[in-house]
Amino acid sequence: MVTAFAVLAEPHRRRILDLLLERPRAVGELVEELGLTQPGTSKHLKVLREAGLVRMRPDAQRRVYELRMEPLAEVHEWLEPYRRMWARRLDALERHLDAMPDLGD
- The residues near 62 (Cβ < 8 Å, ≥ 6 apart) are 26, 27, 28
Closest CA to 48 of 34, 61, 60: 34
Burial class (CB in 10 A: 0-12, 13-18, 19+), 33: middle
Residue-wise pLDDT for 53-67, tens only, equals 999 999 888 999 999
- 78: pLDDT strictly greater than 90: no
Residue-wise pLDDT for 80-92, tens only, equals 999 899 999 898 9
For a pLDDT cut of 70, what percent of the chain falls above it? 96
Strand duo 54-59 + 25-26: pairing: unpaired
Closest CA to 27 of 71, 53, 58: 58
Mean pLDDT over 35-50 rounds to: 96
